Amino acid sequence: MAYPPAARSSPPRQPSVKVILASADVQRVVDRIAHQILEKTQGAANTVLLGIPTRGTPLARRLADRISTFEDVVVPVGVLDITLYRDDLRRHATRAVGPTELPSGGIDGKRVILVDDVLFSGRTVRAALDALNDVGRPASVQLAVLVDRGHRELPIRADYVGKNIPTSLAESVKVTLAETDGVDEVKLYGGANS
Amino acid sequence: MIKHLLSGGDLDADTATEILDTAAEMATVAGREIKKLPALRGRTVVNLFYEDSTRTRISFEAAAKRLSADVINFSAKGSSVTKGESLKDTALTLQAMGADAVVVRHPASGAPHRLANWVDGSVVNAGDGTHEHPTQALLDAYTMRARLGRLAGLSVAVVGDVLHSRVARSNVLLLSTLGAKVTLVGPPTLIPVDIAGALAPGTDVSYDLDSVLPNVDVVMMLRVQRERMNDSYFPSAREYARRYGLDGPRMRRLPEHAIVMHPGPMNRGMEITPEVADSPRSTIVEQVTNGVSVRMAVLYLLLGGNNR
């Protein structure tokens, strides 16, 4: 935790935890993004949802599920593993490679919507764009995220944002989902004066 | 993750399984239009080959290139080795050129182990003398798992010149780690005394191929090296082929699901007949394909992260 040196003299504060989205909120947000996708893509024809592991994968499945509930269209869902395209591979111990599963129809000529949980520096999305480039040639690429916490380091923006959370760099945002963690929640940890 | 891959015994079950799982992901790249991943961009892999090899060298080269590494091929022929340069001096030269990994094949058993002490980068043993060939064992394990769905509990017969076979040694070590049971089969002159106990307890030895065949899931034929045929290990090539060669009638004695493997290059008519080599049970071509994926996985896991 990067406290400024002056703060070290006083006893360290308990790191604060704030629930930004509770379970029901997460579901509402997913519903809204599904509606927005339908609206912006005029019915989600010729569209593919690709989740970025770990939590983008269940989010993409949920969005497809909601879209089919609202409008009775089936949007193919896939998984795009970006491990081998990361720009920080060499700064960490070797990362395990996960599966990339493209829908049977492929992605060539489709509108691909990348789905991730948190948009932060933008580096994950950059890696995903590179990975996408190697597996096919989509007609266009859009980005849907559950949370945008700011602090971009690359010129990347999301087309669909569940919730904008203004944060400081000392804070961290943690998304948990029922499929991967047992409960739907978005929490904000730490921070100087919260 | 380990730094070098020198022996099939270097890997514990978790690491070996991680390599096989990673290889399964790497295999999907081979089916794509763009068979390239950026994971090892800017890394240099040197193929240091003191012995002739076609498939292993090309396989490593393809693997490194698919991961975007720079590949330098070094073969002893036409190099300073013919002028008398020692392995150590060659290693230091490669080191000075900034090799991140050295893939080495050498006629002397243990050469890669020595090399590992001299260079900073990772060393991958691509076959040393009559000792080990761990990536071959990994691709064999990968092929078995892909065909039969599992490794634990499999019964594997390794047939032929076990004495001189680095493939056999690495396979015994790796397969027993992964829970398969290996039976070494061959003429008594070509199976070292107590090799089973020395390598991996639980390994069996048999001198009678016909009695082993009905009970195995995998039969792996080893190449009989031509130079051995004149060394009095067995009376004649023909007698060897009769007793230890895999032909059509013998193949039909295998269980329905059993597969036939061979690390290549084959001596058709000696240890394996064309009927067997070209049958649907044979995985010989798959083994070559899988070799690239497995070597990609090994290079990625050794070089991909900051494991120094």
Q: Map residue B27 onto helix, strand or coil.
A: helix
Where does the pLDDT of residue A86 fall: very low under 50, low under 70, confident under 90, or very high at 90 and above?
very high
With contact defined as beta carbons under 8 Å apart, do A103 and A78 qualify?
A: yes
Of A117, A129, A103, the residue nearest A48 (C-alpha):
A103
Instruction: Show me where the domains of chain A are located.
Output: 24-87+103-168
CA distance A72 to B186: 65
Q: Do B306 and A90 touch (CB under 8 A)?
A: yes
Q: Is B287 assigned to a binding site? A: no
On chain B, the residues whose CB falls within 8 A of the CB of A99 are 25, 28
On chain A, the residues whose CB falls within 8 A of the CB of B32 are 134-135
* Tens place of pLDDT per residue across chain B (308 aa): 689 999 999 999 999 999 999 999 999 998 888 899 999 999 999 999 999 888 899 999 999 999 999 999 988 777 777 778 899 999 898 889 889 999 999 999 999 999 999 999 999 999 999 999 999 999 999 999 999 999 999 999 999 999 999 999 999 999 999 999 999 999 999 999 888 888 888 899 999 999 999 999 999 999 998 777 778 888 888 999 999 999 999 999 999 999 999 998 999 999 999 999 999 999 999 999 999 999 999 999 999 988 65
Count of A-B CB contacts under 8 Å: 54
Of A138, A116, A139, the residue nearest A127 (C-alpha):
A116
Residue that has been written with the tokens 């493997």 in this structure = B261
In chain B the domains, ranked by start, together with CATH numbers, are: 8-132+288-303 (3.40.50.1370), 134-284 (3.40.50.1370)
pLDDT at A10: 53
Where does the pLDDT of residue A4 fall: very low under 50, low under 70, confident under 90, or very high at 90 and above?
very low
Note whether B308 contacts A: Cβ–Cβ < 8 A: no
Note whether B280 contacts A: Cβ–Cβ < 8 A: no
Q: Is B32 assigned to a binding site? A: no
Closest approach of A53 to chain B, Cα-based (Å): 14
The size of chain A, in residues, is: 194
Q: Do B305 and A99 touch (CB under 8 A)?
A: no
For the stretch A44-74, pLDDT in tens is: 999 999 999 999 999 999 999 999 999 999 9
Q: Do B304 and A99 touch (CB under 8 A)?
A: no
- The CATH number of the structural domain formed by A24-87+103-168 is 3.40.50.2020
Written as six digits, the tokens of B285 are 């071509």
Q: Is B166 assigned to a binding site? A: yes
Mean pLDDT of A122-145: 96
Q: Which position has the higher pLDDT, A11 or B174? A: B174
Q: Do B305 and A92 touch (CB under 8 A)?
A: yes
| Global pTM value | 0.90
On chain A, the residues whose CB falls within 8 A of the CB of B307 are 93-94
With contact defined as beta carbons under 8 Å apart, do A184 and A52 qualify?
A: no
> Is A194 a residue whose pLDDT tops 50?
no
CA distance A149 to A171: 10
pLDDT at A11: 55
Q: Which ipTM was obtained for this model?
A: 0.82
pLDDT at B308: 54
On chain B, the residues whose CB falls within 8 A of the CB of A95 are 304-305
CA distance B93 to B29: 34
pLDDT at B52: 86
Of A78, A146, A86, A87, the residue nearest A108 (C-alpha):
A78
Residue of B nearest to A127 (CA): B38
pLDDT at A12: 57
* Span between the terminal Cα atoms of chain A, in Å: 15
Written as six digits, the tokens of B276 are 């067997």
pLDDT at A14: 65
DSSP β-bridge partners for residue A148: A119, A164
| Other CB atoms within 10 Å distance of the CB of residue A68 | 14
pLDDT at A7: 46
Where does the pLDDT of residue A3 fall: very low under 50, low under 70, confident under 90, or very high at 90 and above?
very low
Written as six digits, the tokens of A19 are 């629930």
Residue B97: partners with Cβ closer than 8 Å, 6 or more residues away: B44, B46, B72
Q: Is B56 assigned to a binding site? A: yes
Note whether B2 contacts A: Cβ–Cβ < 8 A: no
Q: Provide the H-helix boundaries in A72-177.
A: 123-135
> Is A1 a residue whose pLDDT tops 70?
no
